[in-house]
Structure 1
Amino acid sequence: MDPKLTERVKLTQNKLRRRTLSAIFQEFDYKMMKLERSKREEKYLKMSETPFSFFRGSAYLFYFDVSREWFPYHTPVNRPTWIQGDLHFENFGAFRNEQGTLVYDVNDFDEGYLGSYLYDLLRMSVSIALVGRLKGLMHDSQISSIEAYLQAYSKQMRRFVKGKDDPATYAIDVDQAEGPVKKLLKKLQKRKDQHFLEKVTALVQEHRQFAATDEIVPPTDEERAVLLEAWPVYLTTVAADDAEELRHFQVKDIAVKHGSGTASIGLDRFYVLIEAGEEEQGGDDIVLEVKEVRVPVPAYFMPYDETFWSVFEHQGKRVTMTQKAMHHEADPYLGWLSIGERQFYVRERSPYKKRLKLDSFETAGDLLSVTTSMGKLTAKLHARADADVAQGILAYHSEVEIVKAMGNDEDAFCASIAGWAVSYADRVEQDYALFTEWLGGRKKQSH
């Protein structure tokens, strides 16, 4: 082909894709999220750091693309799974469960929804490829890391179907963990219960309150008033009704939290300090996080389910029930409330919450070890979720439907998804280049 014609084709392709990116960002960030310009700039600045950061902050673009592609491994439309909805490498981490055990698991459920299990696997597989590239891994090592994840998922799901493991009790704690995950959990064992409390609060005349920082600031009088007004509704969602429980949940201080996440920029987030106990100087106080949440991104691309929305019309309830469904011992502080027309969920801000840092992966073997653990946990999420949502949402066992959809040729399943994921990671890198170019144009227009 004539080189000039080839160049023209490439320019046209890029022009059309850039228009797609611009239209999707405009639709979701401006029209749907209603992000003011400063918040959009803050979000886009975070997204511009790396292709992986861009991928994290553009779930709507991923679903726009992937929901239009054909894959042979989807479950039937009438047999959806309760999916996490935004599964990527940094939505796994360590925390302490309700029984006080340190575990490694998924720790973000804001995008939980009903859909094919495959969307979680596809999004997670692309994120593994992008993380691998950040670590300098070549193509074959990226494929190996993704296949380790998918094989672990497939094998664990088949164990659940055969009754060899129980998704209701399956967990990865320090005894079951390996490699970097085990190191992380062992390190956290030395952390004290008061670690986070002491980090974000201070004693003022023997009363504990939040310490102001760049990310933690005092609320306005109006913010404090509307949150306290909504607090009784939250208490009903955690069944706190007798005098002792009400004293436990007594609000001691409130702060506004800034600077967390990428996709959640522009959503309000509060820290609430509650009494929790009678220890002197508030040493046993607990910090709760009150986070605004909206309709999950997958909902714009998945089939509409009237039954689901009739039960989970409140977005805070949806997130709370997603986490309860996917964790066999969920946070006892999970609940929800509304402030005006905005909806929130509440959870404990665990002093043990910590992600694996990417610099903790010293070898390709480290990445293989971690992705294997992530695969097993993803299988647990999908198989576990039908246990707590038997109220007419899922009238069948997800693991059975998923194993049928994956088929008997595990190698072909893993190779097909891994090959697609590495190819889509190329698309993400190309989109990232178009995005940073588009972002530069926006900045010029604003001056």
Structure 2
Amino acid sequence: METANIADRASSLKRMLRHQTIDAILNELDGTIMNLSREMRLEKYRKMAESPFRFFRGSAYLFYFDVTKIPFSFHTPEDKPIWIQGDLHIENFGAFQNEKGDFVFDVNDFDEGTMGSYLYDLLRMSASIALFCEAEGYTEEEQEARIHTYLKAYTDQMKRFAKGKDDPVTFYFTSENSKNPVRKLLKKLKKRRMNKLLDDYTELNDQGVRSFKWSEEIQHASEHESVMIKEAWKDYIASLDKNDQRDLSYYKIKDISKKLGSGTASIGLDRFYVLIEGDEGEHGLDDLVLEVKEVRAPIPGYFLPAGREFWEEHAHQGERVISTQKAMHHHEDPFLGYVTMEGRHFYIRERSPVKKKLKAKHIDGPQQMDEALDTMGRITAKIHARADADLADSFLTHHSEMEILKAIGSDTRRFADQISFTAMGYKRQTNADYAIFCEWLNQYENEEQ
């Protein structure tokens, strides 16, 4: 009886301490550091409360707080850092059209890009695979099998890069070299009308002038916000790569809107859409929509020992994000630029006219899940292997694929087993944390303001 009581009290104590940890991290990161208002925090937390996967997506700081304490056998040396994506999960891959006109499947979010161990990208992605598959009814054994598929693809592709069989600088996936369901997704994307984005977000007036049409998602920018963006526009154009710059008339601003309904991690950060002239096509069909997004220091940066040289070179957070995208993408967006407005950092990119996410409804069973994860594993290898000495202006002097393969060693199964074991454990921790978080949120909602 007494032993059972001790076991119950021990369980209660661990839960209480985890509750305190979650409370402290949420208050410090979202409250003190991110300076989110109570209203913004509630908006974010209510999204996170939708499911364990949404909670995982919105609590990257908790993930890094936890996993950076775990000893791993496969880290690359600290003096040979890897440029990591920083928030790699299954929904940060997608299909879109690049500036060369190719329909590609690739990583599509770079806000958390920083220097660190490649293991954190693999572990975060692997935990997301387990959570995603669990929501689709996969058993734990099936979840582990899917993680192993992803990790095998990653290590196999790294070996191909190291042996010179593939070049990470030119390696990317289209419908011609991908499997279902990615191939199907890309083929569907090709059928989309190129002016669908303009039809969705803009309209022509009686004089044939195009402007944004207003909705719950697309709102008027205030006069102050419009002036702020217009005053910074020359700085944006100056930040573009010289080879990408066009005549000033090409970047003429036609309209500005404020984008609402941001992703979970972006709540509290301003985002605008800017309609520019582009080429002078009939009915304004060559008009372009650019996204102006506020960005802050990457969450992994609070927990990973990125070198001073990296932060000195990428002191502007908008510049850091676009540099990460340029480093990891085969063909970069020619509209990638950055500005500082009112002391805040922003990056600017084209809002892709056609893009599509790979969702659970697109994946029919374990075989298609494996085919999608095989592609994602190879893309992860590509972004790690590409963002290194292969780039002409990189401060990294080593080849990431070589350092990563050295760290993994010859026993790739042992490597995959350790990552999978840790990811599955973290999935279970996430489920337990989610239950605690939902209780915490209920208390937070009922606190006196």
Q: Do they fold alike, i.e. is TM over 0.5?
A: yes
Cα-to-partner distance string for 1:386-433 (whole Å, 9 max, x where unaligned):
146554621111110000011101111112211111111000000000
Q: Which amino acid aligns with 1:115?
A: G
* TM superposition outliers: structure 1 runs of 4+ over 4 Å: 239-244, 387-392
Shift of 1:129: 0.2
Matches within 5 A, 1:22-421: 22-205=23-206, 206-239=208-241, 245-387=247-389, 391=393, 393-421=395-423
Q: Which amino acid aligns with 1:112?
A: G
Q: Which residue number corresponds to residue 14 of structure 1?
A: 15
Cα distance, 1:286–1:242 mapped onto 2, change above 3 Å: closer
Q: Which amino acid aligns with 1:12?
A: L
Shift of 1:382: 0.3
Measured in 1, the distance between the counterparts of 2:316 and 2:353 equals 28
Structure 1: unaligned runs, 5 residues or longer: none
Q: Which residue number corresponds to residue 444 of structure 2?
A: 442
Measured in 1, the distance between the counterparts of 2:355 and 2:46 equals 25
Shift of 1:328: 1.4
Cα distance, 1:324–1:241 mapped onto 2, change above 3 Å: closer
Structure 2: unaligned runs, 5 residues or longer: none
Shift of 1:444: 2.0
Measured in 1, the distance between the counterparts of 2:132 and 2:244 equals 49
Task: Decide whether the 8 Å contact of 2:169 with 2:390 is kept in 1.
Answer: no
Cα distance, 1:242–1:127 mapped onto 2, change above 3 Å: closer
Cα distance, 1:352–1:387 mapped onto 2, change above 3 Å: farther
Cα-to-partner distance string for 1:20-72 (whole Å, 9 max, x where unaligned):
00100111101111111111000000000010000000100000000111010
Q: Which amino acid aligns with 2:29?
A: F
Cα distance, 1:335–1:388 mapped onto 2, change above 3 Å: farther
Cα distance, 1:39–1:242 mapped onto 2, change above 3 Å: closer
Measured in 1, the distance between the counterparts of 2:360 and 2:177 equals 21
Measured in 2, the distance between the counterparts of 1:260 and 1:198 equals 21
Task: Decide whether the 8 Å contact of 1:325 with 1:388 is kept in 2.
Answer: no
Measured in 1, the distance between the counterparts of 2:307 and 2:233 equals 30
Cα distance, 1:8–1:352 mapped onto 2, change above 3 Å: same
Task: Decide whether the 8 Å contact of 2:389 with 2:398 is kept in 1.
Answer: no
Relative to the length of structure 1, the TM-score reads 0.98
Task: Decide whether the 8 Å contact of 1:334 with 1:348 is kept in 2.
Answer: yes
Measured in 2, the distance between the counterparts of 1:100 and 1:208 equals 24
Q: Which amino acid aligns with 1:214?
A: E
Measured in 2, the distance between the counterparts of 1:140 and 1:18 equals 29
Secondary structure, aligned partner of 2:447: helix
Deviates more, 1:432-441 or 1:364-373: 364-373
Task: Decide whether the 8 Å contact of 2:52 with 2:131 is kept in 1.
Answer: yes
Measured in 1, the distance between the counterparts of 2:117 and 2:144 equals 23
How big is the alpha-carbon RMSD for the aligned residues of Structure 1 and Structure 2? 1.5
Shift of 1:362: 2.2
Identity of aligned residues (%): 50
Measured in 1, the distance between the counterparts of 2:240 and 2:194 equals 22
Measured in 2, the distance between the counterparts of 1:185 and 1:446 equals 50
Cα distance, 1:109–1:241 mapped onto 2, change above 3 Å: closer
Task: Decide whether the 8 Å contact of 2:211 with 2:254 is kept in 1.
Answer: yes
Cα distance, 1:386–1:242 mapped onto 2, change above 3 Å: closer
Query: In the comparison of the two structures, how many residue pairs are matched?
Result: 447
